[in-house]
Chains A and B, each alone.
Chain A
Amino acid sequence: SYVLTQPPSVSVAPGKTARITCAGTNIGSKSVHWYQQKPGQAPVLVIYFDSDRPSGIPERFSGSNSANTATLTISRVEAGDEADYYCQVWDSSSDRVVFGGGTKLTVL
């Protein structure tokens, strides 16, 4: 089955740029979606189809996807961005949803 690998944690100072990666075999050929989850809350979609932003999501959130790595980039990081972030794909070969293990973003 298809596997997505994320770093368990990423730390960044306020105002700096955070990059969270999601690795998968030839992930560049798939559409990647990203979710933000704060403690005790349901996940929220922040990026879909690699780089599209839902309405209400700040422009500071962006995404890219190429070859074997997709990346969620958060510019000008704020304290409120501290959360767990999950990447996700639809694996068409198995007709299944696959999540990455999640990355805890800590704002220093």
Chain B
Amino acid sequence: QEQLVQSGAEVKKPGASVKLSCKASGYTFTSYYMHWVRQAPGQGLEWVGIISPSGGSTSHAQRFRGRVTMTRDTSTSTVYMELSSLRSEDTAVYYCARGAARTHFDYWGRGTLVTVSS
């Protein structure tokens, strides 16, 4: 069945970068978009961006402009999200979520906790 397996928790210092991974299985990787969504502690869901696994095109929320890079490796069915110039406000659980018809999410990973602290 469909599954998204995310990389483990990260602890980073302010100003550093973090690269997260999300490995898909149980379906045709290139047939579905992949989104990244984050959730700060005790807060709501926030959309980060989207990648097309087939062509590699991306789009992201305005607030991450210049700081987020999303890539994919079709040979391993894995997508990556790198966030740079980390600040304490980036502390959150980051989820990858499969895009159904691009517009919504039908399967989610378990999330990766990123902690930014000096």
A residues whose Cβ falls under 8 Å from a Cβ of B: 1, 31, 33, 35, 37, 42-45, 48-49, 54, 84, 86, 88-90, 95-102
Query: Does B110 belong to the interface (CB within 8 Å)?
Result: yes
B70–chain A nearest beta-carbon distance, Å? 14
Give how many A-B residue pairs fall within 8 Å (CB-CB): 58
- A90/B106 contact (C-beta < 8 A), A98-B47, A101-B44 known: no
Known contacts A42-B95, A54-B106, A101-B44; 15 additional CB pairs below 8 A are A33-B105, A35-B45, A42-B111, A43-B45, A43-B97, A44-B108, A45-B105, A45-B106, A48-B104, A48-B106, A84-B44, A88-B45, A90-B102, A98-B47, A99-B47
Q: A43-B45, A86-B44, A97-B50 are in contact. Are A31 and B103 (CB under 8 A)?
A: yes
**Interface residues, chain B, CB within 8 Å of chain A?**
35, 37, 44-47, 50, 59, 61-62, 95, 97, 100, 102-106, 108-111
